[in-house]
Chain A
Amino acid sequence: MTNGASPHKETNLWQSVLDRLKLWSRKHSPWLIHFNSGSCNGCDIEILATLTPRYDAERFGVQLHGSPRHADILICTGPVTRQARERLLRTYEQMPNPKYVIAVGACAITGGTFAGCYNVIGHIDEVIPVDVYVPGCPPRPEAIIDALVILLQKMSTNGPKIEEAVS
């Protein structure tokens, strides 16, 4: 205490321990929120199938949650329609930092079969930044689990990601 580390350095040590603790807990219980911005439902039911007993993504601590305020991962399906854009942005902004986004399905990546429809304004990463893409129409539950695992690895290698609100 007398001639040891400065108070500043002490905070940093405490901080790094806290950060590691946070990362550890985040990696072991990433909560999902699901938003359908104009999907055909195919991906949505595959996401649900991923969480149900055959595939059981909950063994990674993943849980589907209702409120964006509680979620770590936004799992998006579908192209973005004109009316859903505001909601997608709002849902994303309501999530606490650091936030991660998984885009599920061909439509979410490129607009897929709906590219060019007059009410489709684009794909997910034209509206919000995306971390992991899952191709397929719709992707199999195994692919969605793989995306989750990739994202969990990404969390630990890149450290906590801080995204500013897009508006």
Chain B
Amino acid sequence: MTPSTDRKRFTVPIGPQHPALKEPGHFAFDVDGEIVQSASVRLGYAHRGIEKATESRTWVQNLYLLERICGICSHIHATAYCLGVEKLAEVEVPPRAQAIRSLVAELERIHSHLLWLGVAAHEAGFDTLFMYSWRDRETVMDILEALTGNRVHYSANVLGGVKYDVDDKQAATIREGLDFLEERTLHYLEVVTTDGLFLQRTRGIGVMNRDEAEQSGVIGPTGRASGVHRDVRIDSPYTAYAEHPILPVYESTGDLLARFIVRLREQLASFEYIRMLLDHLPNSPLTTRMPRRVKEGEAISRVEAPRGELFYFIKSNGGDMPERIHVRTPTLCNIASVAQLVIGQHLADVPMILVGIDPCFSCNDRTSVISQDGQRDLWTWDRLRQYGINHYGTHYSKDIHR
């Protein structure tokens, strides 16, 4: 990119295609030597216009569309949507269905946190941990596949209940898998808290104290690592969390290490919770009858996604399609904190800090307002692209065309 004319300051652009990012997002970091002075975020590369699209699909079709907002936390999106629509339609979901929703949600949290652990370790250059945690993640993927028949978009929810039941044989498989995962999670907890090299990359890096966290409005594990006591599963219980509360996990130091510990301990809490749910699965039908048209009105639903609070607003005009659906995802609340956290940090720590909030751009990029700042780049896209083509064309064309 174009170097800045100011000799001390240099802008390092990261993304949208960058090895440190698995998803497209653009960040510009102004650095003075190695130290980041300011940062700006540009989002929207994965913006598809899902909210608008929901208005031209039926209630049932939307379930599958909204599930595909995110491939990591797909079940929780569908759950939030179902809870809202069921509230509007005044439908009571059978208790067994509620319990299975919670069960799949906790399995999903385990898979998401293991995935995150791997990616975060990868950003720190600790690829061994990345490979191990992804190997172990396959265990929970197997469980999810055995339960619902799919590895990623489980489609466990339907409006008015769930599709899949858990029988004794499956429950035994789940317990077996959980025992293995629990052992591994305890091991990872030991690794991230004792490995000297890894601690140098996490302890005291990207510290956000409780006040800062409250101010920038971070939620989910990122907030809980800074001592913000906010968890929708506890504050406003839904599905089976009202009857069977889950153990909250909080840390207070607010650095990267705390974010690792919170997520790993949350996994341990999830293991306990799933075992408890399997012991207390209520007996009831799985679904209840759902009307095709949903009564006129507005509803909100809040759930705790692996990354934090997920919020749905649903408005119906009494037809077979929604009038408006708005989704606010946890990454939107957390991403602003990155721009503050990186200031004063080493450039090398930036990917770790970014990954520390567990950003999910595909969730986030449905709605974003971009302030256009076209003046900063002296080179237009077309010019830059043409330059690349010409440069590589003339230098390597002989070699290529042989």
Contact = CB atoms under 8 A, between A and B. Distances in A.
B134 A48 contact: yes
A30 interface: no
11 contacts: A41-B23, A42-B152, A52-B130, A65-B19, A78-B46, A81-B46, A87-B16, A90-B388, A94-B388, A120-B48, A138-B152
A114 B45 contact: no
A113 B17 CA distance: 24
Contacts of A116: 53, 56
Interface string B357-390: 0001011010000000000000001001110110
Interface residues of B, number: 54
B202 to A, nearest CB: 22
Among B17, B389, B400: residue with most chain A CB under 10 A: B17
B48 A41 contact: no
Interface in A73-120: 78-79, 81-84, 86-87, 89-91, 93-94, 96-98, 112-114, 116-120
Given A41-B23, A53-B135, A96-B400, A87 B45 contact: yes
B169 interface: no
A84 B45 contact: yes
A54 B65 contact: no
A48 B72 CA distance: 13
Nearest to B51: A117
B196 interface: no
A117 B56 CA distance: 10
Nearest to B119: A48
A150 interface: no
Interface in A36-56: 36-46, 48-49, 52-54
| Chain A to chain B: the 9 pairs with minimum beta-carbon distance, closest first | A42-B71, A66-B19, A52-B134, A41-B71, A117-B49, A119-B49, A118-B49, A53-B135, A97-B400
A40 B362 contact: yes
Interface string A2-24: 00000000000001001100000
Interface of A: 15, 18-19, 33-46, 48-49, 52-54, 65-68, 78-79, 81-84, 86-87, 89-91, 93-94, 96-98, 112-114, 116-120, 137-138, 140, 162, 165, 167
Contacts of A68: 17
Contacts of B176: none
Given A96-B396, A118-B52, 10 more contacts: A38-B46, A38-B362, A41-B362, A41-B363, A44-B22, A81-B48, A93-B388, A98-B400, A114-B48, A116-B53
Nearest to A112: B68
B70 interface: yes
A111 B64 CA distance: 14
Contacts of A53: 131-132, 134-135
Nearest to B396: A96
A8 to B, nearest CB: 14
B74 interface: yes
Contacts of A66: 18-19
A113 B53 CA distance: 10
B70 A40 contact: yes
A59 to B, nearest CB: 13
Contact of B17 (A35, A42, A48, A78): A35
Contact of B48 (A42, A54, A79): A79
B44 interface: yes
Nearest to A88: B17
Given A41-B72, A81-B48, A117-B48, A87 B360 contact: no
B400 A167 contact: no
A45 B116 CA distance: 11
A20 B138 CA distance: 39
Contacts of A40: 68-71, 74, 362
B69 to A, nearest CB: 6
B275 interface: no
A74 to B, nearest CB: 10
A26 B386 CA distance: 27
Contact of B23 (A18, A44, A98): A44
A93 B65 contact: no
Nearest to A87: B16
Nearest to B46: A38
Nearest to B115: A45
Given A46-B151, A91-B17, A113-B65, A81 B47 contact: yes
Interface in B66-107: 68-72, 74
Nearest to A19: B402
B131 A96 contact: no
Given A42-B152, A114-B68, A162-B400, A84 B135 contact: no
A78 to B, nearest CB: 7
B135 A54 contact: yes
Given A83-B45, A84-B16, A39 B362 contact: yes
B401 interface: yes
Contacts of B53: 114, 116-118
Contacts of B400: 96-98, 162
B116 to A, nearest CB: 11
A40 B47 CA distance: 10
Contact of A38 (B18, B45, B52, B132): B45
A37 B115 contact: no
